[in-house]
């Protein structure tokens, strides 16, 4: 069975599982799943040009209009709606394992291309760099984020952005273990992409945007 089929089967059984049992499973994961390692520090020279914004919508207003955009993980489609309204992309590619919960006005928009598959599978089939920016908001576990980064970084055009939702280190009941902070910091340090935007959030679930250098070693 392929990874995509296994994930679909897991999703099916999740829908059948009572909420109390899901909560118990999350608590057990906190007991047995180790916390993420300490993330490396992003060098100051990669932060000097960053713009601090009060939220991610403010970032959208600063991005160029049009272009080709990809969102990895869209769920209800609320941020996809904001991208369509503010950035007005020529194409918005939405990648998710299911679109059952996504709002109809997003799915019906002629600029939207939906891809019902795993994020890494879609990115592996995309060919040459095709996107002006990619918004990463899929599985938040460390291994999944690291895999999305590895697959997505080559799909962003030089000068384009990789934007990450929920840039946070979290180990708490109800949310499980977030590995976004660790994975993104490791990527920034290893690949040298500078931080372009840092977006605040009232729940400390920040957004961070890294810009692909015009030339990559």
Q: Superfamily for 3-211?
A: Vaccinia Virus protein VP39 (3.40.50.150)
Per DSSP bridges, beta strands 176-178 and 195-199 are unpaired
Q: What is the pLDDT of residues 36-85, one digit of tens each?
A: 678 999 999 999 999 999 999 999 999 999 999 999 999 999 999 999 99
- According to DSSP, the residues that pair with 69 across neighbouring strands are 92, 133
The whole-number average pLDDT for the span 191-205 is: 96
pLDDT on residue 101: 92
- The sign of the dihedral angle between the CA atoms of 2, 152, 147, 55 is negative
Its pTM stands at 0.86
Question: By C-alpha distance, which of 185, 188, 166 is closest to 177?
Answer: 166
Residue 216: exposed, middle, or buried by beta-carbon count in 10 A (0-12, 13-18, 19+)?
A: exposed
- The sign of the dihedral angle between the CA atoms of 184, 44, 59, 159 is negative
- Mean of the per-residue pLDDT values of the chain: 88
First CA to last CA distance, the chain: 37
83 vs 61: CA distance, rounded Å: 9
Q: What is the pLDDT of residues 71-122, one digit of tens each?
A: 999 999 999 999 999 999 999 999 999 999 999 999 999 999 999 999 999 9
């Amino acid at each position: 069975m392929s990874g995509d089929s296994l994930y679909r089967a897991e999703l099916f059984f999740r829908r059948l599982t009572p909420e109390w049992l899901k909560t118990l499973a999350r608590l057990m994961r906190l007991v047995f799943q180790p916390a993420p390692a300490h993330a490396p520090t992003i060098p100051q020279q990669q932060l000097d040009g960053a713009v601090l914004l009060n939220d991610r919508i403010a970032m959208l207003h600063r991005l160029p209009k049009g272009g080709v955009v990809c969102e990895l993980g869209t769920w209800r489609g609320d941020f996809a709606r904001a991208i369509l309204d503010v950035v007005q992309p020529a194409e918005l590619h939405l990648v998710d394992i299911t679109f059952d919960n996504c709002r109809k006005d997003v799915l019906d928009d002629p600029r939207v291309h939906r891809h019902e598959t795993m994020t890494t599978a879609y990115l592996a089939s995309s060919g040459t760099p095709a996107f002006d920016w990619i918004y990463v908001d899929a599985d938040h576990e460390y291994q999944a984020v690291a895999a999305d980064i590895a697959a997505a970084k080559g799909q962003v055009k030089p000068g384009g952005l990789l934007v990450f939702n929920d840039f946070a280190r979290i180990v708490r009941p109800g949310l499980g273990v977030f590995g976004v902070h660790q994975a993104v910091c490791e990527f920034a340090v290893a690949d040298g992409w500078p931080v372009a935007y840092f977006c605040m959030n009232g729940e400390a679930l920040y957004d961070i945007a890294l810009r692909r250098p015009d030339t990559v070693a």
